[in-house]
Amino acid sequence: MSIRGACYTFGNKFFNEMKGNILIVDDNKSILSALDILLSAQYDYVKCLSSPNQLISELQKHDYQVVLLDMNFKTGANTGNEGLFWLREIKDQSPACSVVLITAYGDVELAVKALKNGATDFVLKPWKNAKLLATIQSAIQLSFSRHEVNHLKQKERELKREMNTNEKFMIGSSPELMYVLKMVQKVARTDTNVLITGENGTGKELVAREIHRLSKRNNEMMVSVDMGAITETLFESELFGHVKGAFTDAREARCGKFEVANHGTLFLDEIGNLPIHLQAKLLSVLQSRELTRIGSNESVSIDIRLVCATNKNLSQMVADELFREDLLYRINTIHIEVPPLRARGNDILVLADFFLKKYAYKYDKIMPRLNRQAQDKLLKYQWPGNIRELEHCIEKAIILSDRHVLKPDDFYLRPLAGDPMDSRSLNIEVMEQRLVAKALDTHPGNISAAAQELGITRQTLYKKIKKYGLS
């Protein structure tokens, strides 16, 4: 008889095709041959052993879904201790294998003891064939399910390891970035909630990933949810999950992002885009650390580290009654501001170099270098789309240019509306007013950073704000 399952992998097609392999261990030869005839017709592979001595070596040779095990082997023995001993050995060797005991009438107490020790079921001698086949069928299904669960758990572990090792690292060495990374190192080991702010494309998500990577939760997942992309109707089911039949389309039960992130990190991106009436629902879960799936009345405890990000000024949104103050306090125990690329000085060239290497490799080209004028062009540009824009700009240059030295005309940088440097006015006061307004826009609510960028003191900046009626 051929054994189809000797090298199968459980999980999908082949496992679905399998009927199962059965090992029968009994010292009674007539029982063995009766079972062999009955079961060989139904299953892929049936092996009979008249003594348990080769049991473990047999399990090492083949995958069995079920072992049918007699409880007593020595003549006159009826304690079942031998059966219990071999049951433990089987569970040690093949934890997913189901053990069905063959017991004599009146051994019910022994059978119960065996069930407590990991047996799946028992059949009483003499058995009825239909009942025996039904018992074996359920035991096979249970064994397949255990294999499936083990396979999925292994896969999950691999995926988590893969995700955490394939992290992108933050490139740059400017004091501005170093300050951010120092903050990250300090907060990562704690479980405190972190709010990351900064313009689009500055690397907020990368900062969140770094916090997760350095945290003690790094064996688990960081789950990202784009709060700007989640529709209002799906908000609760996406975040908190639902039970089967909770609403028309809920054909299966589904766990929400909070549960998927359990014991790991939940990253709520674009938190400033969450409509105010949904903020209360989020706050309630964050406060109680418990959630209830839609359609269920059981609450589930959650243990997550929360990191949020936004490019909006949440304090201003609170003042405008667009964001709940209590939610803001809940999420911003630590606030990390990621500086825009234009404020990171030479990091522009370090990042440009990194992306030149990356895309030259990707498009199979020799890595070009930048001439002095091209470097100046990149350094002077304002980068409103920050690192994401720089990356796209370099990728485009690599694709379109065949030069070994890239010049300014290899980089198309969009003229910025309202850029003071593009102004046709040569009036110094008009220019100054625009520069001050731009610095205040770039660093909302941060007078020190705005003053530093303008190269003036805070006091001088306050005077200019007053003079030009800016706020």
Quickly count: other Cβ atoms within 10 Å of residue 49's Cβ.
18
Binds ligand ATP by CB under 6 A, chosen from 133, 206, 246, 379: 206
Report if residue 241 touches ligand ATP, rule: CB under 6 A. no
Binds ligand ATP by CB under 6 A, chosen from 3, 171, 318, 465: 171
Give CB contacts under 8 A, 24+ apart, made by 464-467.
464/432, 464/436, 465/436, 465/440
Binds ligand ATP by CB under 6 A, chosen from 98, 103, 197, 202: 202
- Smallest distance from the beta carbon of 431 to ligand ATP, in angstroms? 30
Closest residue by Cα to residue 24 from 113, 106, 127, 110: 127
In angstroms, rounded to a whole number, what is the distance separating the alpha carbons of residues 328 and 314? 7
Whichever of 147 and 305 has its CB closer to ligand ATP, that residue is: 305
Binds ligand ATP by CB under 6 A, chosen from 113, 388, 407, 434: 388
Residues within window 109-168 making contact with ligand ATP, judged by CB under 6 A = 168
- How many residues of this chain interact with ligand ATP, rule: CB under 6 A? 19
Q: Single out the segment in contact with ligand ATP by CB under 6 A; choices: 7-15, 35-43, 318-326, 386-394.
A: 386-394
- Smallest distance from the beta carbon of 214 to ligand ATP, in angstroms? 15
In angstroms, rounded to a whole number, what is the distance separating the alpha carbons of residues 329 and 279? 13
Give the residues across from 305 on adjacent strands. 265
- Smallest distance from the beta carbon of 438 to ligand ATP, in angstroms? 20
Quickly count: other Cβ atoms within 10 Å of residue 299's Cβ.
13
Report if residue 20 touches ligand ATP, rule: CB under 6 A. no
Q: What share of the chain is helix, strand, coil (3-state, %, to 5)?
A: 50, 15, 35
Whichever of 200 and 433 has its CB closer to ligand ATP, that residue is: 200
Whichever of 149 and 178 has its CB closer to ligand ATP, that residue is: 178
Q: Single out the segment in contact with ligand ATP by CB under 6 A; choices: 34-42, 116-124, 198-206, 435-443.
A: 198-206
- Smallest distance from the beta carbon of 232 to ligand ATP, in angstroms? 20
Report if residue 342 touches ligand ATP, rule: CB under 6 A. no
In angstroms, rounded to a whole number, what is the distance separating the alpha carbons of residues 471 and 460? 14
Report if residue 335 touches ligand ATP, rule: CB under 6 A. no
Determine contact, residues 5/45, Cβ cutoff 8 Å: yes
Binds ligand ATP by CB under 6 A, chosen from 198, 241, 340, 368: 198
Cα torsion 390, 394, 400, 404: sign? positive
Binds ligand ATP by CB under 6 A, chosen from 5, 203, 264, 340: 203
Whichever of 195 and 387 has its CB closer to ligand ATP, that residue is: 387
Q: Residue 411 contacts by C-beta under 8 Å, 6 or more apart in sequence?
A: 374, 377, 378, 393, 397
Strand ranges (DSSP E) for 113-156? 121-125
Closest residue by Cα to residue 306 from 191, 197, 190, 185: 191
Determine contact, residues 258/291, Cβ cutoff 8 Å: yes
Determine contact, residues 211/256, Cβ cutoff 8 Å: no
Determine contact, residues 29/13, Cβ cutoff 8 Å: no
Report if residue 358 touches ligand ATP, rule: CB under 6 A. no
Which residue minimizes CB distance to ligand ATP? 203
13: left (phi over 0), alpha (psi -120 to 50) or beta: alpha
Residues within window 254-313 making contact with ligand ATP, judged by CB under 6 A = 269, 309, 311
Whichever of 200 and 452 has its CB closer to ligand ATP, that residue is: 200
Report if residue 368 touches ligand ATP, rule: CB under 6 A. no
Binds ligand ATP by CB under 6 A, chosen from 172, 264, 339, 368: 172
In angstroms, rounded to a whole number, what is the distance separating the alpha carbons of residues 78 and 53? 18
Quickly count: other Cβ atoms within 10 Å of residue 404's Cβ.
10
Report if residue 197 touches ligand ATP, rule: CB under 6 A. no
Binds ligand ATP by CB under 6 A, chosen from 5, 201, 272, 340: 201
Footprint on this chain of ligand ATP (rule: CB under 6 A): 168, 170-172, 198, 200-206, 269, 309, 311, 351, 387-388, 391
